[in-house]
Structure 1
C-alpha cells in the first residue's frame, strides 16, 4: 500500500480520539502515511487508500458524528479497505472476551464490506459532557478501561493487512 490511510473517529469526551491517535501511531511506525481526522470534519474519503473508523458507544449506538460519517461516505467507503472499532464498555469485559459489534455497526460492516471490527474498553471520567455521562459517574460506573496494549495489537494486525494489499 502506497497511499494515505484515514483514521477517523466520533468522540464526545476525547477518549475515542486518544484511541484513534494510538492506532494512527502504530500504522505510522509500520511505515504508512496516516491522517487522523474527527469524523465530523471529513469532507471526502477520495484522497485515502484505506480507512479506519471508530466511535464511542452511547446507549448501544456509535457516537452520532461517526454514524453520519458512515452514511455520508458509504459509496466511497464500500470501494476501499475499511476497518472499524468501537470504544465503550465501562468495565473489563473488552479485555476478557471478544465483544461483537452493536447491531448498527454490524449492519454497516456488512453493507460496506468492512474487513474487521474490534470492541475496545471505554473511558468515562469526571468532567465528561452530557447528563447521562454525569449520571453514570454519579453511580460509580466510570473509569478508564482502555487497554492500550490491546489497541496496539489490533492496529498492528491492521497494518500487516494493509502492507499485504
Structure 2
C-alpha cells in the first residue's frame, strides 16, 4: 500500500488550492496520508510514494508554479504514480465533457508517464488578481464553475487505485 501522497498545486487566486485540498481530503478518507502544498514550496519528493499535481489554466498554459514543479522534479515524478489536473474553464464545459489537457500538460503527461489528467471548471470572482482576471470578472464572465462531485469522484478513484498497490521504490 502507498503510504504518503503529495498533492502539489499552482494557483493565483486560490481556486486550484481549494481543489487540491478537496482532493487531499478524499484521499485521506481512503486511508492515505496526504499533504497538499503549493508546488513552489516543495523541495523534494523523498517521503512521497505518489503525487497529484494541479495547476490553474491561464491563457492556455498551466500555472507557472506547476510547470516549474514538474520540470524540477521530473526524474522523481517519473518513478512514482502520478496524476495531473487543471482548473480553468469559466463555464460548465468541464462538467459536461472531458476536456483534453492543454499542449504543455499533454507533453508532461507523456514525458512523465502520468496515469491520468482531468480538467475541472475554474473560479474567478470579485477581487481576483491580475488585470485580465479583473476584466473578465467586470465583464460578467466570472463565477465559480467547479464541480466538487466530479472532483470527489476522481479523487476516490485515485485513492482506490493507490490503496491496492505496493509503494514505489
TM-score bracket for the superposition, by shorter chain length: over 0.9
Pairwise mapping of residues 1-16 of structure 1 onto structure 2 (< 5 A)? 1-16=1-16
TM-score normalised to structure 2 length: 0.96
Gaps of 5+ in 1: none
Pairwise mapping of residues 21-36 of structure 1 onto structure 2 (< 5 A)? 21-36=21-36
Pairwise mapping of residues 1-165 of structure 1 onto structure 2 (< 5 A)? 1-165=1-165
3-state SS in 2 of match to 1:89 = coil
Deviation, 1:130, is 0.5
Q: Distance in 2 between matches of 1:50 and 1:79?
A: 9
3-state SS in 2 of match to 1:94 = helix
Q: Distance in 2 between matches of 1:37 and 1:124?
A: 21
User: Is the Cα–Cα contact under 8 Å of residues 2 and 50 in structure 2 kept in the other structure?
Assistant: no
Deviation, 1:120, is 0.2
Q: Distance in 2 between matches of 1:61 and 1:149?
A: 25
3-state SS in 1 of match to 2:49 = strand
Runs of 4+ in 1 over 4 A off after TM superposition: none
Deviation, 1:135, is 1.1
Deviation, 1:2, is 3.6
TM-score normalised to structure 1 length: 0.98
User: Is the Cα–Cα contact under 8 Å of residues 9 and 37 in structure 2 kept in the other structure?
Assistant: yes
> CA deviation digits over 1:39-82, x for unaligned, max 9?
00000011100000001000000010110000000011001010
Q: Over aligned residues, Cα RMSD in angstroms?
A: 0.6
